[in-house]
Chain A
Amino acid sequence: MPKYTLNIRRFSPETGKPAYFETFDVEMEGHRPVLDAILEARADQDGSIGIRCSCQAAICGSCGVRINGNPALACNTLLRDAVATAEDGVTIDIEPMGNMPVIKDLIVDMDAVHWKKVDRVVPWLVPAGDPPEREYVVPHEAMVDVTQTMACIHCGVCVSDCLSMEADPEFIGPAASAKAYRFVGDPRDSATKDRLVHLANDPSGIYDCTHCFKCVEVCPKGVAPMNQIMRLRRRATGDYKIKDHNNGYRHEKAFVNIIEKWGTLHEAKLLPDSYGEGILGKATPDAQKNLIGSLPTALRGLASGKVTIPKVLHHHKIPDIDKVQDIYKKVEGRPERIELNLYIVGEDADALEEEGASEVTPIAATAPAEEGAS
């Protein structure tokens, strides 16, 4: 029977002592989960090891921890996989999740962080008026689509290592954003625009995400929280044209326009364009203030060489810019936006395509077109 060494971070607030690491040796087959090893250590060696756990099947969301520095559920991380990422190839480090205060050993205070954020997104359906006599009639695809976010088990694994939350503890975060999409994507909900206006204008809302992909990578349920944040943004900008105080709308448009024109990112143009479009836009008091406020960023860019004076003055189009523009024409020419939903296609999208199954699911944009398409 293979032997594994668990290096568990221990902390008990009652002792007055700082946290420390303690090792436990467990003999167990490599295909068993890390949680089983922790429970065996608790059963045979030290009953005081604190960890929340219940279903042992990745459905209750209790046992989020960091394993060798990566957030994961202990119950669906196998010992042989965990030891493969161990720094010394032998010892599996097990620590509580990050971004949340530790209560004891591997138990963190999710109420203080995660559930407070969930509260911010009005986490219940807001239907319009009285319910119908029978069920709401809604497209099959829409229900499958929101079921991806319904599959969130609130384990906190994405919250644990959210980089934006490390920088801004108030950031709404990946899990609560996915919860928000669960309602925004639900055709039965009547508060879509209010939800989006709020999420877009919240200084720690959807535009606070820095697209690091960490939450997509670590989510044990395929919820892909960052994708949901991007979809919330597309709904806010593309469907509802919400011009938020965070300039998320303008930043995104500036980005899109610059790539369409040059094919690569024109750093020197991105910043001013994000604060106001054209000469008149830049002259508004808000834009002026923001531009002055962003001077340190621009100077840092110059100092680091990311932006250079020649680049500022002469940004060249890439040689085959027409191909880039063809992509724009194709995508913008579609009658409705197509969203890729991994919940439907799984990770083996190519094989599905071979079977002739539809790879993508069009989710009709329901918002009224208040302006012409961008």
Chain B
Amino acid sequence: MTVGIISKIHPVRSHSNAAQGGINAALNPDDSWESHAFDTVKGSDYLGDQNAIEIMCREAPDEILHLEHLGVTFHRNDQGLLGTRAFGGASAARTYYVADITGQAILHVLYEQMLKYSDQIDRYEEWFTVDITTDDDGRCSGAIMRNIRDGSLEVFKAKTVILATGGSGQIYKPTTNALVCTADGQAMAYRAGASLMDMEMIQYHPTTLLGNGLLITEGARGEGAHLYNALGERFMEKDAPNKMELASRDVVSRAEQTEINEGRGFPDGSVHLDVTVVPKKRIHEALREIVMVGRDFAGIDITKEPIPVKPGQHYIMGGVKTDVDGQTDIPGLYAAGEVACVSVHGGNRLGANSLLDTLIFGKRSGVHAAGVAKQRNMPDVPATRLDQVRDEIDERINRAPGTGRRVSEVKAELGAIMDAKVAVYRDEAGLQEALEVVRRLKEEAKTATIDDKGTVFNQDVLGSIELGYMTDIAETIVLGAIERKESRGAQFRTDYPERNDEEWLKHIDIKLVDGEPKIEYSPVTITQWQPQARTY
């Protein structure tokens, strides 16, 4: 059996880098996985599946130790043991971290391990996935890839395929997500017939830099930073008197948006994050990255001045529906991480649970997929499929300029409408308007034109394929938001402002049937925590 890792960018460029603050685990003797699980359930506004959450929180401590043994340079306390910081929505300080580059440190260490075992793993760096293939029995049979360096197309036959393609933030503008987060995996799985789940659940992070939307880690608030409105009030007192700035992200983002909407924000449309209350040495040691972000991107010395922030698109809780072993609806196709929806995050993900989700379910997917692969013969992908994909790409490249809109124009309009109407506060009229625009853009994406006619690093044609991925997935996000007629987690409907467990304590699944999105429901798994009112 051979394993290949295929990535459209060099793996160390991946967006896991952006996970700054840390990774949660109940590893301290006075903490418990049950406490971590309950916080996660509550954070999810009871939409998370509790069987999956239990698995994640139980396996978390061993995963941290495994990473530590591989070489992740986790922060130590005075005794030289793993130290923690506080994070939002958590009842104990259980976030393990490397300064504010935790994701980068983990990603790089895992890449080191890949280099160590390079005789057992084939790396295809800068290969773009164009299509997931299935055989006549509906099983996943592999994928079709474009080598970005020379434009050649190849079929990768595979007994099992794991999607680890990350999120879809580029559907929004602004977003904290990198330019590569273009919904590739979600769209390809959806097109291949897999169900998507909870797509309406889009997380707005409370502290993104005004202007360009760069992420300011929740670790800043974990280290003690405060949020102020223009009147100098710590407004979180109103919505979360106990947890204050460290309430769940949906709660903090809504509070900020309310301040801004009701005229208590600063004239530039921001609220202020004040890090100056954190001791300077600690800032340099633990929040080094945002010192640089402030300096390089906002011209601010965060050790001396507050940072203007606002809520900004950050994460998609929804994704390709999987079981606790990463299996999707399509046999042989797996998904793990932000691309997937197990669901452990439900309506709202807790900070420092995303790296954990990725690692735990990535590992479980790998183990399961390897077991299945051992019992399966290599499937075949007919050559006609490759020809089809090649023709389709050639057609994109050969479209005469001026016959359609530019890819960049369609993408910009998509980002704007999503951020305007499918954001922190939503209502029926706005969502219907968004649906109309997104459906038009979906058609326009099919005829959008590009300039680059070449084969070597034709990023233009890849951008056009990504645009198709994004418009498909944007439609499912809007459909989910229209369907869910209640307010839960990140979905806040001003026309349905209450959580409605009686009718809506269920997942919304969307799958493609005869080329049209079809909505179904699936139950939420509850093991030991019955829904309660959610306060912080």
**A residues adjacent to B (C-beta < 8 A):** 12-14, 31-33, 42-44, 46-48, 50, 52-62, 76, 78, 103-105, 107, 110-111, 118-119, 123-125, 127, 131, 134-140, 143-144, 146-147, 150-151, 153-154, 183, 186, 188, 221-222, 343-346, 348, 351-352, 355, 357-358
Contacts and interface: CB of A to CB of B under 8 A. Distances in A.
B280 A137 contact: no
B455 A14 contact: yes
A94 B455 CA distance: 23
B17 A60 contact: yes
Contacts of B291: 346
Contact of A186 (B10, B71, B76, B113): B71
Contacts of B112: 123-125
A54 B179 contact: yes
A151 B68 contact: no
A248 to B, nearest CB: 27
Interface string B98-138: 11010011001100110110000000010000000000000
Given A12-B454, A59-B104, A110-B10, A143 B15 contact: no
Interface in B276-299: 279-281, 284-285, 288-289, 291-293, 296-297, 299
A348 B460 CA distance: 43
B101 A147 contact: yes
B71 A124 contact: yes
B281 A355 contact: yes
Contacts of A151: 99, 101, 104, 288
Contacts of A358: 281
B164 to A, nearest CB: 16
B238 interface: no
Interface stretch (B78-86, B229-237, B346-354): B78-86
B33 interface: no
Interface string B125-155: 1000000000000000000000001000000
B74 A143 contact: yes
Which secondary structure dominates where chain A touches chain B? Answer: loop
A140 B78 contact: yes
Taking residues whose C-beta sits less than 8 angstroms from the other chain, chain B's interface range is 35 or more
Contacts of B429: none
Contacts of A134: 65, 81
B92 interface: no
A254 B53 CA distance: 63
B299 to A, nearest CB: 7
Most buried by B among A60, A143, A346: A60
B178 interface: yes
B69 A136 contact: yes
A125 B73 CA distance: 11
Interface string B5-33: 00001101111011000000000000000
A42 B303 CA distance: 36
Interface string B169-200: 00000000011100000000000000000000
B11 to A, nearest CB: 11
Contacts of B434: none
Nearest to B459: A50
A151 B292 CA distance: 12
Given A14-B455, A47-B463, A50-B459, A144 B285 contact: yes
Contacts of A52: 9, 13
Contacts of A12: 454, 456
17 contacts: A14-B454, A43-B412, A47-B452, A48-B451, A48-B453, A62-B13, A76-B297, A103-B456, A104-B456, A125-B112, A131-B65, A140-B78, A150-B108, A188-B71, A352-B280, A355-B279, A355-B281
List the 3 closest pairs (A to B, CB-CB), nearest first: A125-B71, A43-B408, A48-B452
Given A44-B408, A144-B285, A147-B98, A135 B178 contact: no
Contact of A13 (B13, B81, B212, B456): B456
Contacts of B280: 351-352, 355, 357
A202 to B, nearest CB: 19
A32 B299 CA distance: 11
Given A103-B149, A140-B78, A355-B280, A131 B406 contact: no
Contacts of B158: none
B407 interface: yes
A25 B412 CA distance: 20
A124 B292 CA distance: 27
Interface in B52-76: 65, 68-71, 73-76
Nearest to A13: B456
A76 B296 contact: yes
B473 interface: no
B450 interface: yes
B445 interface: no
Nearest to A149: B73
B424 interface: no
Given A47-B463, A144-B285, A346-B291, A135 B450 contact: no
B450 A58 contact: no
A39 to B, nearest CB: 8
A145 B292 CA distance: 18
A53 B456 contact: no
B414 interface: no
Contacts of A55: 13, 15, 17-18, 178-179
A14 B82 CA distance: 53
A76 B292 CA distance: 10
Nearest to B64: A135
B73 A48 contact: no
A209 to B, nearest CB: 23
Contacts of A62: 9-10, 13
Given A140-B76, A150-B101, A61 B455 contact: no
B297 A136 contact: no
Contact of A147 (B13, B105, B408, B459): B105
Contacts of A46: 451
B407 A47 contact: yes
A183 B116 CA distance: 14
B116 A124 contact: yes
Interface in B444-503: 450-460, 463
Given A58-B292, A60-B17, A103-B456, A135 B81 contact: yes
B441 interface: no
Given A135-B82, A137-B80, A47 B406 contact: yes
A153 B104 contact: yes
A129 B458 CA distance: 47
A190 to B, nearest CB: 12
A12 B458 CA distance: 10
Contacts of A103: 149, 456-457
Most buried by A among B109, B214, B456: B456
Given A53-B179, A344-B281, A138 B99 contact: no
A62 B288 CA distance: 20
Contact of B214 (A57, A110, A351): A57
B285 A344 contact: yes
A10 to B, nearest CB: 12
Most buried by A among B69, B180, B289, B451: B69
Interface in B367-423: 406-409, 412
A135 B69 CA distance: 7
Interface string B210-249: 0010110000000000000000000000000000000000
Nearest to A183: B71
B98 A154 contact: no
Nearest to A35: B179
A79 B67 CA distance: 40
B80 A138 contact: yes
Contacts of B109: 125
Nearest to A349: B284
Contacts of B530: none
Nearest to B70: A125
A56 B457 contact: no
Nearest to B112: A124
Contacts of A186: 71, 73
Contacts of A188: 71
Contacts of B113: 124
